[in-house]
Structure 1
């Protein structure tokens, strides 16, 4: 068993790097979708609020695996149709599994982040926002200097769970052809007939990712609460 694991160690390391890159890209996108969705839900614009509500209902109520397939194949159909408008001779255009997968899981987790950010924004002391406005700060200044930093502190515990979800959801992307660690484990298991050992190695890698995220989030929470205690 150990000989087989060593033989596939290079492939597992490459797959782990792919997972890390997917996670980082999808993390940035998740924050964007979450902030946009929360801002839309808290806005007075009915159309924006309705769109944000539809987004969270659909992406929180549909199986993640199904959403991944719909986004991957749907993006191919959409891109092909758009390109054919310019170059009619085009036969097929699609997103790479990397970008399609990162985009899909960011939308999935971003729906949950939307609700987390919305609740955190509501938890910001309204008096501080009014004081900032009274001092003459503009709307964007109030958002970036007052609301966003305090919202982030309140959202951090739940957002740590969202980051763990992002990491674990990367395991789904192998189904659309991305050569990450699940893809590698499938290949290894099919050649050496040792599926338990191969998948157990993958489980340890994912456990390592989630442990680092959990410890890092806990450290950030303690720092945020320490600063709050000092300020009091």
Structure 2
């Protein structure tokens, strides 16, 4: 059915999964940082966090991908000679994809994490401090577990959207399953067959992810409804 291109597309699917996981790891780190900045009592830090979230969420993903890949490469090759590096620097499409998707979805996750932290009653942290817990211990033992439970639905949505957005990185030369499906479709003149296979693979990936994250949400919510009753 796939004319011998099945293993090639599966290799591309593995590359797509790696891209999605690394991008989400970077996005999570940037999202936590962005949320911390936006909740900071220091005015200029809060403005910096809000600017990051507003600007990035207002620019199409494809535009940012092209800016990072082509613009970033141009800037690096202009700056490198100033430090004595004369060779041409070629940004790998995988690295560009991780950096761009992580940067973009870090802005979205900053809103998710900010909302989750704000939903935690202030008295929770105050009670921990009253018991003699350090601020770091209050944050890790009291705030973070509750934040995770509240943030999982938004995190799940961002993960699903990011996973599908990895297809855009094929436009800058990454040989993911989209690029390999296009090559196979061009070679066999059956593009519908290969793009349908890729659609099925994306559906499998997002469906498995959804099941795993729903299980995680139930695990973190264990006992919550009983307590509310």
TM range, smaller chain: over 0.9
CA distance in 2, matches of 1:88, 1:116: 41
CA distance in 1, matches of 2:89, 2:139: 40
Structure 2: gaps (5+ residues):
none
Residue matched to 2:37? 40
- Residue by residue, what CA displacement relative to the aligned partner does 1:80-132 show, whole Å, maximum 9, x if unpaired? 23321122533x21321111101101111111111110000001121110011
Cα RMSD after superposing both structures: 1.5
Match of 1:218 among 187, 191, 214: 214
Is the contact between residue 79 and residue 94 of structure 1 (CA under 8 Å) also seen in structure 2?
no
Is the contact between residue 75 and residue 94 of structure 1 (CA under 8 Å) also seen in structure 2?
no
Shift of 1:230: 5.6
Is the contact between residue 59 and residue 111 of structure 1 (CA under 8 Å) also seen in structure 2?
yes
CA distance in 1, matches of 2:75, 2:142: 40
Is the contact between residue 24 and residue 105 of structure 2 (CA under 8 Å) also seen in structure 1?
no
SS of equivalent residue, structure 1 residue 7: coil
CA distance in 1, matches of 2:186, 2:153: 40
- Residue by residue, what CA displacement relative to the aligned partner does 1:167-220 show, whole Å, maximum 9, x if unpaired? 101100001111100010110111111111110000000001110111112111
Residue matched to 2:51? 54
**Matched positions, count:** 228
- Residue by residue, what CA displacement relative to the aligned partner does 1:17-71 show, whole Å, maximum 9, x if unpaired? 1011111111110110110000000001222211111111111111111111111
Structure 1: gaps (5+ residues):
none
Residue matched to 1:118? 114
Residue matched to 2:80? 83
SS of equivalent residue, structure 1 residue 44: coil
CA distance in 1, matches of 2:141, 2:78: 43
Residue matched to 1:208? 204
CA distance in 2, matches of 1:27, 1:162: 9
Q: Does 1:132 align with 2:132?
A: no
SS of equivalent residue, structure 2 residue 221: helix
The alignment's TM-score, normalised by the length of structure 2, stands at 0.94
After alignment, is 139-148 or 56-65 more displaced?
139-148
The alignment's TM-score, normalised by the length of structure 1, stands at 0.93
